[in-house]
């Protein structure tokens, strides 16, 4: 392993590393044990506190609420992709009267807290847009509509910038060649730039899904019945339903956190896998045209290759 | 006719905002306080986590990665909820906070926001270290510099420069994220919006625009400061 900070360890350094590994493992174990002890001391981790999660009926409801979370996140990502494409097109336009409004919209929705947008939506767009929530059977519909509209506006603006960066990252030779063939701007964008840019942007789009999924938990604040809201209902009503000595707060939160982390890790791995696949295809495409073989600068080596020389 | 009505609504909204300037600025101050305290704490925790993640000791690297992975994949709302529910449950109530006149809810918000943000600070700093070419440190060692000299004179100055832009966008994200504190009883800018819009729904647009402008000014200040720092530190390469 090579690092900018330290050399490959020799025998003395390896001994030192072994010593400090032992010390740090002990210290970390002590911290973790202290936290667990603090929570367990209050009886929060006893078998009874886990008993609600042995109930299959609870898991059915838990999956329903998880579905509500995914519904909000997925719907807003799909809408955000459309909005992002529209805004990015406006931002990349040659006409100033299209470029500037798109710029203002993108910058505004990126600079304002998402929760503020959702609260604003709850008080304005809620009733007129409640048909979205009604159509999909969410309760209460107003909160769902506000959440989806807020998530769409924010993620759409972020994705617009992602799209713009992706289009700009396509090597200039590509569009120059297309113009030289006599294509118009629309055709260049549609047939040359967009197909290449979309492949490059896929990891960023999947990563944005993680953000949307996490942000959908804001529905908890405006009263949309999603995963986190259901978690709160479990520990608020749980003590009565399952006749527990105290509300199962910690166990419920552990389960909810675990669900979020598992889903997000799966999405992150998907993004990383897409990125690896893409960089592999870039290398394959670049192989026949290295600088050494052609004796030229390796500009625009492959269909996706950046003209950047290696560091 | 419509124009006159719009103009009337606009002046009405401005008049209303002028009346509410007291709560507005105390909300703005709340957001600033929360962001500054949480930002400092997040930077300290983030530095420690980043140091753990680039350290030669595998156990520390694993712990740092776990910390980052946990907070990166957990919704901030959940972190806020967990902090405000679990900490009092295990008996951590910050009795000393009342003595110095700080709201307990503010401390919960600071803990939630700073731990959550720390993982993004750590990632920004780590990527800064990774952006420094290995040859730089190797050259420094080859000319006989000690580890401290390599770090101080060669690695850190270069890492710092490439860390500034991601750090800036992270602090901006944190200011926006601090809005979630409004649900957990912290007086800040979004709390002002939430309160006002319930009492005076007729001035919804004026309230929304005022609060949005408040956030935009704060984020512009942060990005302006970082741009200035970046220009000061810039070198031609």
pLDDT score of A277: 84
Q: What is the number of CB-based contacts under 8 A between chain A and chain B?
A: 143
**If DSSP states are collapsed to H, E and C, what string results for A71-92?**
HHHHHHHHHHHHHHHHHHHHHC
Are B134 and A4 an interchain contact pair (Cβ–Cβ within 8 Å)?
yes
Are A17 and B77 an interchain contact pair (Cβ–Cβ within 8 Å)?
no
Residue whose entry in the numeric block shows the structure tokens 């003595």: B99
Calculate how close chain B gets to A208, using CA atoms only, in Å.
Answer: 12
Q: Is B141 on the interface with A (CB under 8 A)?
A: yes
Judged on CB neighbours under 10 Å (0-12, 13-18, 19+), A220 is: buried
How many whole angstroms separate alpha carbon A229 and alpha carbon A217?
8
Q: What angle do CA B112, B114, B117 make, to 5 degrees?
A: 105
pLDDT score of A129: 61
CATH number of B145's domain: 1.10.3720.10
Residue B44 included in any domain: yes
Task: Report residue B97 as tokens.
Answer: 């906070």
How many whole angstroms separate alpha carbon A294 and alpha carbon A19?
53
Q: Is B152 on the interface with A (CB under 8 A)?
A: no
Q: List pLDDT tens digits, range A221-233.
A: 988 889 999 999 9
pLDDT band of residue B96 (cuts 50, 70, 90) is confident
**Domain ranges (residues) in chain A:** 49-280
Task: Tell me how crowded residue A73 is: count the other CB atoms within 10 A of its CB.
Answer: 26
Q: Is B35 on the interface with A (CB under 8 A)?
A: no
Which distant-in-sequence residues (6+ apart) come within 8 Å of A159 by Cβ?
Answer: A80, A81, A83, A84, A85, A88, A205, A208
Closest alpha carbon to B164 in B202, B121, B201, B195: B121
The number of distinct structural domains making up chain B is 1
Judged on CB neighbours under 10 Å (0-12, 13-18, 19+), A8 is: exposed
- Which of A80-84, A101-105, B7-11 is least confident? B7-11
Q: List pLDDT tens digits, range A268-290.
A: 999 889 888 877 665 444 443 33
CB A228 within 8 A of CB A147: no
Give B 162-181 residues with CB within 8 A of chain A.
Answer: 172, 176-180
Are A253 and B82 an interchain contact pair (Cβ–Cβ within 8 Å)?
yes
Q: What angle do CA A122, A123, A124 make, to 5 degrees?
A: 100
Model confidence at A89: pLDDT above 60: yes
How many whole angstroms separate alpha carbon A62 and alpha carbon A60?
5
Which distant-in-sequence residues (6+ apart) come within 8 Å of A305 by Cβ?
Answer: A171, A282, A285, A286, A298
Q: Average pLDDT of chain B?
A: 89
Residue B14 included in any domain: no
Q: What's the mean pLDDT in A22-48? A: 91
Element (H, E) at A120: helix A114-123
How many whole angstroms separate alpha carbon B147 and alpha carbon A5?
8
Length of chain B measured in residues: 237
pLDDT band of residue B90 (cuts 50, 70, 90) is confident
Distance of CA B134 to the CA centre of its chain: 31
What are the strands, taking DSSP E only, across B76-153? none
Provide the whole-model pTM. Answer: 0.85
Element (H, E) at B51: helix B21-53
Domain span at residue B155 reads 31-187
Which residues does chain B have within 8 Å of residue A253's beta carbon, measured at their own beta carbons?
78, 81-82, 85-86
Task: Report residue A265 as tokens.
Answer: 């890790």
- Give the residue from chain A lying closest to B92, CA to CA: A38
Long-range contacts of B156-163 (CB under 8 A, 24+ apart): B158/B131, B158/B132, B159/B125, B159/B128, B159/B129, B159/B131, B159/B132, B160/B128, B160/B233, B161/B128, B161/B230, B161/B233, B161/B234, B161/B235, B162/B127, B162/B128, B162/B131, B162/B132, B163/B124, B163/B125, B163/B127, B163/B128
Are A112 and B176 an interchain contact pair (Cβ–Cβ within 8 Å)?
yes
Residue B138 included in any domain: yes
At the top level of CATH, the class of A49-280 is mainly alpha
Q: What's the mean pLDDT in A14-28? A: 92
How many whole angstroms separate alpha carbon A18 and alpha carbon A177?
58
pLDDT band of residue A1 (cuts 50, 70, 90) is very low
Q: Which of A21, A213, A232 sits opposite B58 (nearest CB)?
A: A21
Judged on CB neighbours under 10 Å (0-12, 13-18, 19+), A153 is: buried
Model confidence at B64: pLDDT above 90: yes
Model confidence at A300: pLDDT above 50: no
**If DSSP states are collapsed to H, E and C, what string results for A199-244?**
HHHHHHHHHHHHHHHHHHHHHHHHCCCCHHHHHHHHHHHHHHHCCC
More confident residue, A5 or A184: A184
Calculate how close chain A gets to B75, using CA atoms only, in Å.
Answer: 4
Are A115 and B133 an interchain contact pair (Cβ–Cβ within 8 Å)?
no
Residue whose entry in the numeric block shows the structure tokens 């889903």: A263
- Provide, rounded to the nearest whole percent, the portion of chain B with pLDDT above 90: 50
Q: Which of B54, B78, B85 sits opposite A3 (nearest CB)?
A: B54
Q: List pLDDT tens digits, range B3-50.
A: 666 677 777 888 888 888 888 999 999 999 999 999 999 999 999 999
């Amino acid at each position: 392993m090579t690092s900018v900070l330290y050399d490959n360890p020799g025998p003395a350094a390896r001994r030192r590393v072994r010593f400090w590994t032992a010390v740090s493992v002990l210290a970390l174990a002590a911290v973790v044990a202290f936290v667990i002890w603090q929570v367990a001391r209050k009886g929060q981790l006893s078998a009874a506190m886990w008993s609600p999660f042995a109930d299959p009926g609870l898991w059915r409801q838990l999956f329903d609420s998880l579905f509500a979370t995914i519904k909000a996140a997925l719907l807003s990502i799909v809408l955000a992709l459309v909005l992002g494409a529209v805004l990015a097109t406006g931002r990349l336009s040659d006409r100033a009267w299209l470029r500037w409004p798109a710029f203002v919209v993108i910058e505004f929705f990126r600079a304002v807290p998402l929760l503020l947008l959702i609260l604003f939506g709850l008080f304005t767009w809620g009733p007129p847009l409640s048909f979205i929530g009604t159509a999909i059977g969410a309760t209460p519909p107003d909160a769902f509509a506000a959440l989806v509209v807020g998530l769409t506006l924010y993620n759409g603006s972020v994705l617009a910038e992602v799209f713009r960066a992706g289009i700009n990252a396509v090597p200039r030779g590509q569009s120059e060649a297309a113009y030289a063939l006599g294509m118009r701007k629309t055709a260049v964008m549609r047939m040359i730039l967009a197909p290449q840019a979309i492949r490059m942007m896929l990891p960023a789009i999947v990563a944005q899904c993680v953000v949307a999924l996490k942000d959908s938990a804001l529905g908890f604040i405006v009263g949309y019945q999603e995963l986190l809201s259901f978690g709160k209902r479990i520990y608020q009503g749980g003590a009565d339903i399952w006749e527990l000595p105290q509300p199962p707060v910690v166990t419920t939160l552990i389960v909810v956190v675990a669900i979020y982390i598992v889903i997000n890790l799966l999405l992150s791995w998907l993004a990383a896998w897409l990125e690896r696949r893409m960089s592999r295809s870039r290398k394959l495409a670049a192989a026949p045209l290295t600088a050494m073989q052609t004796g030229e600068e390796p500009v625009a080596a492959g269909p996706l290759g950046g003209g950047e020389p290696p560091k | 006719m419509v124009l006159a009505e719009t103009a009337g609504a606009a002046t009405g909204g401005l008049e209303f905002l002028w009346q509410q300037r007291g709560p507005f600025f105390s909300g703005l101050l709340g957001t600033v306080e929360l962001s500054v305290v949480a930002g400092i704490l997040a930077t300290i925790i983030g530095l420690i986590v980043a140091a753990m993640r680039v350290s030669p000791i595998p156990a520390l690297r694993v712990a740092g990665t776990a910390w980052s992975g946990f907070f990166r994949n957990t919704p901030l709302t959940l972190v806020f909820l967990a902090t405000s529910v679990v900490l009092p449950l295990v008996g951590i109530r910050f009795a000393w906070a009342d003595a110095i006149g700080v709201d307990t809810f503010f401390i919960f918000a600071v803990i939630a926001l700073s731990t959550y943000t720390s993982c993004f600070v750590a990632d920004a700093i780590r990527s800064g270290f990774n952006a420094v070419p290995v040859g730089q440190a190797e050259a420094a060692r080859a000319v006989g510099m000690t580890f401290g000299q390599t770090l101080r004179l060669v690695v850190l100055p270069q890492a710092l420069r490439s860390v500034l832009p991601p750090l800036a966008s992270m602090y901006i994200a944190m200011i926006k994220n601090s809005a979630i504190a409004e649900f957990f009883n912290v007086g800040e800018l979004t709390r002002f919006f939430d309160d006002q819009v319930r009492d005076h729904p007729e001035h919804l647009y004026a309230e929304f625009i005022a609060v949005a402008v408040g956030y935009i000014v704060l984020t512009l200040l942060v990005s302006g400061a970082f741009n200035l720092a970046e220009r000061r530190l810039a070198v031609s390469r």
